[in-house]
Structure 1
Amino acid sequence: MTYETILFEQSDGIARITLNRPDRLNSFTRAMHSELRDCLQKLGDSRVVVLTGAGRGFCAGQDLNDRAVAPGEAVDLGETVEESWNPLIRTLAELQQPVIARVNGVAAGAGANIALACDLVIAGKSAKFIQSFSALGLIPDSGGSWHLPRLVGQARALGLALTGEPLAAEKAAEWGLIWKAVDDELLDSEVDAVATKLASLPPLGLAAIKKIIRTSWSRSLDEELDLQRDEMRRLGFTHDYREGVAAFLEKRSPTFTGK
């Protein structure tokens, strides 16, 4: 499939997806949702995904022009959320591969919440995260109302959502909203280093880490301990675990196959 609104490339176990509507700050249209959905189904043997935006921004959320609604006219936003945004957030959460958001500029509205739905967020220091919903009388969708309080606590989540004030990347990292903020000129090298490292690690273990941490909110401590036992048993019988131990003892680099 030839994509018109995204760029997609795969090499060395890394799938790189770029939202490619820089003239509209990579805001989403139905076409972009469709292309991204197709792309995420074609990851093949890629072991890590990097999601970013072209140009000076990461993503400005929904392209309001795409709805072609006249001023003052009503529109069913729930339909848009159900059809496009919710499936995307669920897909990012359920992918076996770790997903890195490379935030190179403004991430606003649903664009900010797409980044927060990824597993690791690495941002340039000039980047900003904006919960821009309150200005339109809306709520933080695309997982925003779920991720925000879990990442930064209720007080800060309410502050960000109610005021819509931009949050600088360094402050976002200080608050624990994102993994790391780096100098803009170091963003590519940092993301590449993390992606390369993840691509070299045992994929079954990474998938298990992602799943168990993302779902831990729904379990008690006793249930978590039982699940940890079961997962350690399962992973301990994999070829990759045996290879990792052998490589450590033999003082060589391991070769993981995902088996």
Structure 2
Amino acid sequence: MQSSYGTLLFQVSRLDRKGADHANKDAQVVRQQVAAGQFKQAQATLNRMLNWVVVNSGHVDVYNFLLDTGMDPVVAVSSSPAPEYSRYLESKSVGDSIQEAMNGAIKQKLKIVPKDVVWQAQSYSVYYALINDFMKPRIHEVDELLSYGVNVTVYNGQLDVICSTVGAEAWVQKLKWDGLKNFLALPRQPLYCGSAGATKGFVRSYKNLHFYWILGAGHFVPVDQPCVALDMIGNITQSPALSRS
């Protein structure tokens, strides 16, 4: 995935050729460290690489290359929930924030979360506990799921950098699943949503592998393209897509 950062940001004019070459060299170091099983070091190298990219790209938002750092709409949504979402939370008496909902009504509903466990959006304790796991390749596990017939869905926002579409396509092509050749040979199907006739994305499906390309969205697909995101979740869960009602 990180191998795509330099080239992608060069193609969309957020880095010049020299900057792209610098990022690509850092990505090569990351690949070497991963191959050597130095996963913690690889994570540290990746963090330094991302910091360098941000500074030398005019502070690009790695979750949406059309934005600068701090401009992402998720920040605004987190600090001031949308009116519709606020009304929904109020109607369910779960509080006026995600944290209150998760530690209140959701925790009570699940009935399995220990009382002393508190939900947080991000936790440094969890991050450092998993520091040796972030960079481990998981392609073989996806292969295993596919071989068992488990439905696997991959989706990517067109404008994302940190989990770029080109990076996702690259690892999918490394799968050893016996249906991969047929999957790659199929044409993509355009996605539409709501009353607007504009294309919102594409999907390709073969047996139990599904890949979504979501146009006009960054890392936070449901925020950038809520209508098509809801349709996608409806397809994944085999539930009616509420956005069409």
TM-score normalised per structure 1: 0.25
Greater fraction of residues in strand: 1
State TM-score, norm by structure 2. 0.26
For CA contacts below 8 A with separation 6 or more, give which structure has more relative contact order: 2
